[in-house]
Amino acid sequence: MANILYAEDDRSCRELFAFSLRQKQHRVHEAINGAQAVQIVREEPIDVAILDVRMPMMTGYDAACRISEEAPHVPIVFLSAKGLRREVTMGFDCGSAVVDYLIKPITPQRLVDRIEDILENCRIRGMEAVREENMTRELAVIEW
């Protein structure tokens, strides 16, 4: 069981994915914007943060930069419909804590599987190895 932060301003999307993660016995802290996400990381022992890119008050990019600075031990995964090469690159540029960038649409089961894989691989191989592998994979499949 992991403590997961899921920041998403789209209520139906947030509720669906949070429900799916809870079905696997994870504790999910929900945020509706980037500022709330940063605050939750400050107050709770988060094991992984899932961030949408477009959110009010503070973007996912801005939240990731803050989380990377304040809690560099918390792996960050972007989950966004924004999948252009420059957007994915911007995500990974937010800090060394960013370990993956998943592009919507994605099924709830696929998200749960990826998050569980990331948690296990970060524990076994370390965040930097997971980040490098995922960054290489994501950028290789996106066309210039």
Q: pLDDT, tens digit, for every residue of 62-109? A: 999 999 999 999 999 999 998 889 999 999 999 999 999 999 999 999
Instruction: Specify the 3-state DSSP secondary structure of 24.
Output: coil
- Note the helical H segments in the chain: 11-23, 34-43, 60-70, 85-92, 108-125, 127-141
The whole model's pTM is what?
0.96
C-beta separation of 118 from 48 below 8 A: yes
Quickly name the fold that domain 3-141 has: Rossmann fold (3.40.50)
